[in-house]
Chain A
Amino acid sequence: MAGAAPLVALARRAADSDIFYSFRRSPMTVAAAAMTLVFIVGAVFAPWLAPHDPFESVTVELLDAFTPPVWDARGDPRFLIGTDDQGRDVLSVIMYGSRISLMVGFAAVIFSMVLGVSLGVVSGYAGGFTDAVIMRLADVKLTLPGILVALMVDGIARAAMPRELHDALAIYVVIFAIGISGWPQYARVTRGATMVEKNKEYVAAARVIGLHPVTIMFRHVLPNVMGPVLVLATLGLALAIIAEATLSFLGVGVPATTPSLGTLIRIGNSFLFSGEWWITLFPSLALVLLALSVNLLGDWLRDALNPKLR
Chain B
Amino acid sequence: MAEAGQPIVEVVGLARYFDVSKPWLARVLQGQPRLTLKAVDGIDFAIRRGETFSLVGESGCGKSTVARLIVGLHRPTRGHIRFDGVDLTALGTRAAQAPFRRRMQMIFQDPFASLNPRWRVRDIVAEPLRAFALVATGETVAGRVAELLTQVGLSANDGEKYPHEFSGGQRQRISIARALSGNPEFLVCDEPTSALDVSVQAQILNLMKDLQRRLGLTYLFISHNLAVIDHVSDRVGVMYLGRLCEVADAQSLFRRPRHPYTRLLLDTIPDLAMTGRARGPVAGEVPSPIAPPPGCAFHPRCPHAGERCRLEAPALLEHDGALIACHGVEEGRL
Residues in chain A within 8 A of chain B (CB atoms):
200-202, 204-212, 220, 223-224
B191: shortest Cβ distance to chain A, in Å?
11
Judging by beta carbons under 8 Å apart, are B101 and A202 in contact?
Answer: no
Name B167-219 residues within 8 Å CB distance of A: 175, 178, 182
- What are 10 inter-chain pairs, A to B, with CB distance below 8 A? A201-B108, A201-B114, A202-B116, A202-B117, A205-B106, A205-B175, A207-B72, A209-B102, A210-B72, A212-B94
B107: shortest Cβ distance to chain A, in Å?
9
> How many B residues have CB within 8 A of the partner chain?
27
Measured between beta carbons, the chain B residues less than 8 angstroms from A205 are: 106, 108, 114, 175, 178
Cα separation A204 to B105 with both chains bound (whole Å): 11
The residue of chain A having its C-beta at the shortest distance from the C-beta of B94 within the complex is: A210
- Known A201-B114, A202-B114, A224-B118; contact A208-B109, beta-carbon cutoff 8 A: no
Cα separation A169 to B127 with both chains bound (whole Å): 44
Judging by beta carbons under 8 Å apart, are A210 and B73 in contact?
Answer: no
Q: Does B98 contact A (CB under 8 A)?
A: yes
Interface majority SS (helix, strand, loop, mixed), chain A: helix
Q: Does B18 contact A (CB under 8 A)?
A: no
Q: Which of B115, B127, B175 is most buried by chain A, counting CB atoms within 10 A of its CB?
A: B127
Select which of A201, A202, A209, A223 is within 8 A of B131 by beta carbon: A209
- 0/1 string, B113-151, CB within 8 A of A gives 1: 111111000000001100110000000000000000000
Q: Number of A-B pairs whose CB atoms are under 8 Å?
A: 54
A220: shortest Cβ distance to chain B, in Å?
6
Residues in chain B within 8 A of chain A (CB atoms):
68, 71-73, 94, 97-98, 101-102, 105-106, 108-110, 113-118, 127-128, 131-132, 175, 178, 182
- Known A201-B110, A204-B108; contact A209-B101, beta-carbon cutoff 8 A: yes
Judging by beta carbons under 8 Å apart, are A208 and B114 in contact?
Answer: no
Q: Identify the 4 closest CB pairs spanning chains A and B, nearest first.
A: A201-B114, A201-B108, A223-B118, A210-B101
Q: Which of A209, A223, A224 is most buried by chain B, counting CB atoms within 10 A of its CB?
A: A209
Judging by beta carbons under 8 Å apart, are B97 and A210 in contact?
Answer: yes
Measured between beta carbons, the chain B residues less than 8 angstroms from A202 are: 113-117
- Known A200-B113, A201-B113, A202-B113; contact A208-B118, beta-carbon cutoff 8 A: no
Measured between beta carbons, the chain B residues less than 8 angstroms from A209 are: 101-102, 105, 127-128, 131-132, 182
Cα separation A218 to B118 with both chains bound (whole Å): 12
A128: shortest Cβ distance to chain B, in Å?
11
The residue of chain B having its C-beta at the shortest distance from the C-beta of A211 within the complex is: B131
